[in-house]
Amino acid sequence: MKDIEDLAQELKQSPVEVINYSFRIYEDLYNRFNNHLHLLKHLESYSITKQKWLIDAIKEKIEFESQTSSEFLKKDRHISFRVEKKLARSIDKYVENSRMFRRSFSKKAMVR
């Protein structure tokens, strides 16, 4: 497998179509990610960036999962429960208030 520097050189030499991915993560996970990268920069190499780390992690995941059978892939699990109407109204109010600051906030986001 080529390392990131080789891939960067290839990108510079020939025009390649690039696709941008964007996703949201919670602030605590973002802080853990940044702290992890800072630690790696000090221990391994100052040239490590978020971009490089994410590309390496994705490649590693694809390589690992392509070698394993589908029975090792984690299954989605669902849970359902009932709440009293009073609590349901409180939840709805909380979600509605949170949407003033972040439009995409949902009940699912609340319980994560």
Residues 45 and 25 in one domain: yes
Query: Rounded to an integer, what distance in angstroms lies between the CA atom of residue 80 and that of residue 39?
Result: 40
Do 30 and 85 have their domain in common? no
Residue-number span of the structural domain to which 89 is assigned: 78-112
| pLDDT value of position 73 | 67
Maximum C-alpha span of the chain: 63
Distance set, CA 111 to CA 13, 24, 62, 82 (Å) = 47, 16, 29, 14
For every one of its 112 residues, what pLDDT tens digit does the chain have, with 9 covering 90 and above?
456 677 666 666 666 677 888 877 878 889 999 999 889 888 887 788 888 888 888 888 888 877 776 666 677 777 788 889 999 899 889 888 888 888 888 877 776 6
pLDDT in the model for residue 31: 92
Same domain, 14 and 48: yes
